[in-house]
Structure 1
C-alpha cells in the first residue's frame, strides 16, 4: 500500500510554499500524482443602503482580490512543483462555500491523502475549512505545523490509541508511514476495562496486527497520572522526538468551538509534530 494521489490544500499565499514543499517530498517518496488545490471563498455581496442593492464596484473589487490570490497561489505551486518526473495537476475553485463546495469535495473524495497546514494564529481565517475536509472528505489528512518550514524524514511514529473507530481508521490510513518508519509506538493513556480486556493489555491487539504488516512496533501504556490525555500525548511527543503523531479526529458538532473533543482540539492548537488525522 502507498499513497498514489496526494492533494495539497493551498489555502493562502502565506502557506502555499510550505505545503507544496511537503507535498512534493511525499509525492516523490511514494511516486504519487500531486494535485494542488485552492478554493477561494467569495465574500458576502456589499449592499448599498437604503435600497439594499448590490454595489457593483465593491463586488468587482472583491472578485479581483480573490482572483489575484488564486493566481499567486497557483504561481507558487507550479514554480515549486514543476520538475522532471513529478506528475502534477492544478485545480482552483471560487464559490461562496470555499473548500466546502461540491467540486472541491469531489476531488478530495478521490485521493489517498490530503496535506494541509495547521492554522497559523496570524492567519486563522481559513481554519473552518480544515474542519470540512476532515469531517466530510472521508480521507486521511496530514497536518503540517505552521512552524515547520522544511520537510523532515518520518522515522519515529506515535499512534495515540484508545480503541475507538476513529483511532482504528487513522492507524490503518497511516500504514504507508508506519511500514516505512524505523520505529512505531502504540501509546495508550488511562485505558479502561473494555470487552474483557484489562488496561494493561490495551493496544496489544493492534500492536500485534501492525507487527504482522512488518511494522517495527512497541506498546506503552500510561495509567492515571492526574493530567489530561492531550497533555500526556504532548509530553510523550516532546520526550521521544516523535516525527509523526497518528490519531483519530473526534467530535460531533461542525462548529469549531464544539467540533473537536478536548484531546484533538488541544493537540491541533499546540501541535509540534506532523499529525495524521482520520475521521
Structure 2
C-alpha cells in the first residue's frame, strides 16, 4: 500500500509556506500525483425588505471576490508546484455550498490521502463545520498540518493513539505507508478497556504485533489518566517524545468532531504540535 494520489486542500493564501513544504515532502516520499483543491462558498444575500429577493449587485460582488481569491490561491499553487517539479492538477470550485458541495466531496473520495491545514482558531463556526464535514465525509484518511510547521521533514517518530475501536483500527491501517517509513512507532493507550478475560494492555500489544509483521519498529505502552484529561496526556506524550506524526481515529457527534479519547478534538486540533492523521 502507498499513497499515489494526494489531495491538498488550499484554504487560504497563507498556505504557501510551511503547509506546501510539508505537502511536497509527502508527495515526493511516495512519488505521488498531487491535486490542489480550493472551494469558495458564494451564498445569495437577500435584501432586508418584504419581498426578500437576492440583490443582484451584492451577489455579483461576492462572486467576483470569490473568483479573485480563488485565482490568487490557484496561482500560488501552480507557481510552487512548477518550481518544485511536482506532477499536479488544480481544481477550483465556486458554489453556494463551498466545501460541503457534492463535487468537492466526490473529488476527495477518489484520492488516497487528503492533506489539509489546521483551521484558524478564529474561523467562523459555519466555515469550520463545513470544512470538517468535507474532510470526514470524504471517507479518506486526512493528514492535518499544524500552523507551527515551518519546514518540511519526514515523520521519523509516530505515535498511534489506540483504544481498540473501529475508528482507531481504520486510522492505523490507513497510516501504514507512514508507519513503514518511520524510525519509531509507539502504540499509546490511555485508560485501555479491561474485561474479565482480557488484560488492559492486550489490545495494544496485538496491534503492535500485527504492525511488527509489516517490518515496522513498534512498541506498545499504556497510561492511566487519573485526574488528568486524556487530551492533556496525549499532548504531553507528543511533546516529551518529540513526535512528528499523531495517528488517531475520529467520529462525529452533535456536529462536532470528537476523538475517541473522551471528546478532546478541540483540545488537540486547537493546539497541534505535530501533524495528525485521522480516519473514521
Q: Do they fold alike, i.e. is TM over 0.5?
A: yes
| 3-state DSSP of counterpart to 1:220 | strand
Task: Say if 2:249 is the partner of 1:271.
Answer: no
Q: 2:258 aligns with which of 251, 257, 260?
A: 260
Q: Give the total of aligned pairs.
A: 276
| 3-state DSSP of counterpart to 1:99 | helix
Distance 1:55 1:223, change over 3 A: closer
User: Which residue of structure 2 lines up, in the alignment, with residue 175 of structure 1?
Assistant: 176
User: Which residue of structure 2 lines up, in the alignment, with residue 61 of structure 1?
Assistant: 61
Moved more, 128-137 or 236-245: 128-137
Distance apart, 1:188 and its partner CA: 0.6
User: Which residue of structure 2 lines up, in the alignment, with residue 154 of structure 1?
Assistant: 155
Task: Say if 2:142 is the partner of 1:107.
Answer: no
TM-score by length of 1: 0.93
8 Å CA contact 1:200, 1:221 repeated in 2: yes
Within 2, Cα distance between the matches of 1:65 and 1:151? Answer: 32
Within 1, Cα distance between the matches of 2:272 and 2:236? Answer: 11
For residues 173-194 of structure 1, the C-alpha deviation after alignment (integer angstroms, 9 at most, x for no partner) is: 0001100000000001111214
For residues 53-109 of structure 1, the C-alpha deviation after alignment (integer angstroms, 9 at most, x for no partner) is: 222211111011000000000000001111465210000111111111111111111
Distance apart, 1:225 and its partner CA: 2.8
Unaligned runs of 5+ in 1: none
Distance 1:6 1:43, change over 3 A: same
TM-score by length of 2: 0.93
Within 2, Cα distance between the matches of 1:111 and 1:194? Answer: 39
User: Which residue of structure 2 lines up, in the alignment, with residue 23 of structure 1?
Assistant: 23
Counterparts of 1:180-199 in structure 2, within 5 Å, are 180-194=181-195, 196-199=197-200
Q: CA RMSD in A?
A: 1.8
Distance apart, 1:49 and its partner CA: 2.3
Distance apart, 1:127 and its partner CA: 2.0
Unaligned runs of 5+ in 2: none
User: Which residue of structure 2 lines up, in the alignment, with residue 201 of structure 1?
Assistant: 202
8 Å CA contact 2:39, 2:99 repeated in 1: yes
User: Which residue of structure 1 lines up, in the alignment, with residue 235 of structure 2?
Assistant: 234
User: Which residue of structure 1 lines up, in the alignment, with residue 38 of structure 2?
Assistant: 38
8 Å CA contact 1:250, 1:264 repeated in 2: no
Distance apart, 1:52 and its partner CA: 2.2
8 Å CA contact 1:140, 1:277 repeated in 2: yes
User: Which residue of structure 2 lines up, in the alignment, with residue 250 of structure 1?
Assistant: 251
Within 2, Cα distance between the matches of 1:89 and 1:46? Answer: 36
| 3-state DSSP of counterpart to 1:39 | strand
Distance apart, 1:20 and its partner CA: 2.6
Within 1, Cα distance between the matches of 2:137 and 2:51? Answer: 39
Distance apart, 1:23 and its partner CA: 1.7
Distance apart, 1:16 and its partner CA: 4.7
